[in-house]
Chain A
Amino acid sequence: MIGKHLLSTYDLSRDQALSILDTTAELAAVSERSVKKLPTLRGRTVVNLFFEDSTRTRLSFELAAKRLSADVITFSAKGSSVSKGESLKDTALTLEAMGADAVIIRHGASGAPYRLANAGWIGGSVINAGDGTHEHPTQALLDAFTLRRHLRGGVGDLSGARVVIVGDVLHSRVARSNVRLLHTLGAHVTLVAPPTLLPVGVESWPCTVSYHIDEALPSADAIMMLRVQAERMAGSYFPSALEYSRLYGLDARRMRALPPDAVVLHPGPMNRGMEISAEVADSPRAVIVEQVTNGVNVRMAVLYLLLGGANSETPDRADKEGV
């Protein structure tokens, strides 16, 4: 069991994280069949509650829920005239009244999923699909799954794997979730960013920190490039896109400094030419498209374990009963 909600990678023990990855591997088999559907969550209602635009994450969850035969509704609160504070609670009460078994929430405010799960507004499971600059646990899980597949043959944990994460750590929920989860799984994480894009207190995180990407490359087993938004320049986080790209971008020259088997990850959407060059993004080392596939499977596993796990149906058994 992984608990009732998935709010933060902090809440996952090594065993829980591994059980999600192992379940993902089992469910991946379903995704490779011509009929990609399991009856596990038949009759259960899953709500996609997206206060922020994120087509890829929303579609990924939607597909994951549908492959498990859940009824999926999407509630896009963007553009609602209700004030932000009222709408979260009122939306939650509405979803509760509709009998939602799980709410997948994407919200611009850090902690909003935590609030949704703990304020007593709803009784179902809450899955954090990205909250502000806080966490994005399913992204970290899909990254861990991808890394395990390439670096550890798809089994066990990530003990000893060296993962470099480069970019806007300060504003990145992906980085926060990954540092914690990869640490839990035994990997050694190095964060690389200009000092302005590292949060105060980062020295207490379970990772090492560097200001220089070139120092981190030769020993990396994997490198994850974070999206850097151009508007950060307005906040004086760095002087120009050109300077950022020159000092922290991953281009072909830097890619050659990586060990031959090292893989390149990116959570998407990419800024080609900014944090990653087109040459790198399209190279065989980039596993960025595979991350998307794994994302669906990881989200199936999370839904399965949160909602279906109580029925103690294993994916194998469900598979045999399936269509």
Chain B
Amino acid sequence: MASVVVRSGRLYGDDVRDLVIDGDRIVDVCKPGTGAGDVVVEADGCIVLPGLVDLHTHLREPGREHAETIESGSRAAAKGGYTCVHAMANTSPVADTAGVVEQVWRRGVEAGLVDVRPVGAVTTGLRGEQLAELGAMAHSAAHVRVFSDDGLCVHDPLMMRRALEYVKAFDGVIAQHAQDPRLTEGAQMNEGELSGRLGLAGWPAVAEESIIARDVLLTEHVKSRLHVCHVSTAGSVDVIRWAKGRGINVTAEATPHHLLLTEELVETFDPLYKVNPPLRRSEDVLALRAAVADGTIDIIATDHAPHPREDKDCEWAAAAMGMLGLETALGVIAEVFVKTELMDWYQVADRMSVAPARIGAVADQGQPLAVGSVANLLVWDPRTPTEFNAGSLSSRSSNSPYLGMRFPGSVRHVLFRGRLTVREAQMA
């Protein structure tokens, strides 16, 4: 493998250095202009970050390859600056056996653009009735550590308790989609003044908050580890902050869309904005931002959810829930946090790479930009704004709410295990 020099980038937006990469490792961090290698990629004026790690990605394979495949999703991830994604279990068949998670893992290796880490289902078929073979998935070649019925909540308290207990044997974590099913029957959007006016069935904040409250107490009781998916309300932030203050081993994620977009977009009745949990009030968005900045919410996760056109090109109630996220995430975060100085690039690296790698127990990801680390990194160019359009996306689907919006910068280069996957904003 050719050696690579990343020339004159600002590491974490700070010191200007050359990074020399040989094989899959960073072998030298030196003064700008002094690094030598076979291939030189320019990073002058750019920011160098560790490769991003997504704890919440829907790659749709197996079963819904018309929406996304492991290969197309890997390309979208690379384009977005990711070097690792966690493929959610709600595929068809469900990733609830060692066989399925190993297949997903192998297809990821074949695509070779990011580490694809399968997430195992908590319950067989996501039905919430019986534990899936968590141990078999953990001990498989896929080394599953994150388990989730995402898309559905593990709502039976006893089932949740058992799952939390069981994964302690292999340092697993239950990633909960916190949604009380009874309180959200037929729910279409955030419950509030707007849902009342639009006549759309409401998804109340309490349906999320009550499950999180129950789960942190269960986690404390059985001394396990809980991760809360896509936190969307100010009340959830309060519950998580309280739990952390009490020493409960809970982590949480927020999505870029819940950090930028608000429920007013639903007034267009355009299903592009239909997502679960739904877009919330601006008060919630501000609370989530503050929580990410102060670390109450540990990570940014995309909940990248590709859907074919026909599933969005319809009336609101008939449309599928979810939006694309991989290619746009860093742009949104740069807009929401860096431009506003709510966070610096060190904190961005923590929330989007270091912390998700730690929660997912991913060995070769989220390492520091230092000699000896596996060379998973990205170069962000803050001088070239991005404007996304349907034609520029690598995903098989185009259900992005950000089309036509401009973000302050772009992913310029990405190295995955020492190899260029993206060069000058194009797949290498």
A residues neighboring B (CB under 8 Å): 83-86, 88-89, 107-112, 114-115, 118-119, 131-135, 173, 176, 199-202, 204-205
A85 and B319 form a contact (CB under 8 A): yes
Of the candidates B192, B202, B269, B313, which one forms a contact with A111 in the assembled complex, judged by CB atoms under 8 Å apart? B269
Query: Interface size bucket, B side?
Result: 20 to 34
Residues of B within 8 A of A114 (CB): 268-269
Any A CB within 8 A of the CB of B311: yes
Question: Which of B14-22, B193-201, B250-258 interfaces with chain A?
Answer: B193-201
Of the candidates B188, B191, B268, B314, which one forms a contact with A88 in the assembled complex, judged by CB atoms under 8 Å apart? B314
Interchain Cβ contacts under 8 Å between A and B, 9 examples: A109-B316, A110-B188, A114-B269, A118-B270, A133-B199, A200-B195, A200-B204, A201-B194, A204-B193
Q: Is the interface of A mostly helix, strand, loop or mixed?
A: mixed
Q: State the 3 A-B residue pairs at the shortest beta-carbon distance, nearest first.
A: A85-B314, A201-B193, A199-B196
Any A CB within 8 A of the CB of B1: no
Given contacts A114-B269, A115-B314, 13 further A-B contacts (CB under 8 A): A84-B317, A84-B318, A85-B313, A85-B315, A109-B317, A110-B198, A111-B198, A112-B317, A118-B270, A135-B199, A199-B197, A201-B195, A205-B196
Any A CB within 8 A of the CB of B156: no
Given the complex of chains A and B, what is the CA–CA distance between A107 and B191 in angstroms? 22
Residues of B within 8 A of A200 (CB): 191-193, 195-196, 202, 204
Given the complex of chains A and B, what is the CA–CA distance between A114 and B192 in angstroms? 21
Residues of A within 8 A of B110 (CB): none
Given the complex of chains A and B, what is the CA–CA distance between A133 and B197 in angstroms? 9
A201-B193, A204-B193 given; A111·B316 CB < 8 A: yes
Closest B residue, CB atoms, query A114: B269
B314 and A89 form a contact (CB under 8 A): yes
* A71 shortest CB reach to chain B, Å: 26
A110 and B314 form a contact (CB under 8 A): no
Residues of B within 8 A of A133 (CB): 199-201
Instruction: Give the residue among B191, B199, B204, B314 with the most A Cβ atoms within 10 A.
Output: B199
B residues neighboring A (CB under 8 Å): 188, 191-202, 204, 268-270, 310-311, 313-319
Residues of B within 8 A of A85 (CB): 310-311, 313-315, 318-319
A111-B269, A200-B193 given; A134·B198 CB < 8 A: yes
A112 and B315 form a contact (CB under 8 A): yes
Given the complex of chains A and B, what is the CA–CA distance between A176 and B199 in angstroms? 8
Residues of B within 8 A of A132 (CB): 199-200, 317
* A299 shortest CB reach to chain B, Å: 21
Closest B residue, CB atoms, query A235: B185
Residues of A within 8 A of B199 (CB): 110, 131-135, 173, 176
* A233 shortest CB reach to chain B, Å: 16
Residues of A within 8 A of B313 (CB): 85, 89, 119
